[in-house]
Structure 1
């Protein structure tokens, strides 16, 4: 897998660098894996974008239990949206 990166800017202007890989990619979903946020490991995130859904869903599997990422202003959501946009271009 190819290691990729994204830079996210917080509301205060702080720059956060994320490194990651893409796995299990198909027409409706993919997994953001091997996520490194400035040395901190982030659990894998499944991105699902079913044709019938209006908005994509982002689900983290923190400690084996799924957890939806819904805070639009959080750095992790901004990261997810950047990755989704990047993957849609491919």
Structure 2
């Protein structure tokens, strides 16, 4: 049985939402390529690959949550800085 490792899922830079989106897009493209054949033929490693894909997607979701939390913390800090700046301005 052929095992296609020409386009591995591993991409190590998930430091931005764009990198997460790119990784997800690559995964979707791989799945679409496999499914758009005229006849789907199961391969020997499909079950294992699907298990890894599920874990991969969970890791992407966790990373996205972490990035979202970081962005929210940055926004909260900016709001606090703006509040402090407004307090320091003389009132008219």
TM-score clears 0.5 = no
Flag the structure with more relative contact order, 1 or 2, with Cα contacts below 8 A and sequence separation at least 6: 2
Task: Write 1 or 2 for the structure with the bigger share of strand.
Answer: 1
Q: Which has the higher helix share?
A: 2
**TM-score normalized by the length of structure 2:** 0.31
Structure showing greater Rg: 2
TM-score, structure 1 length as denominator? 0.31
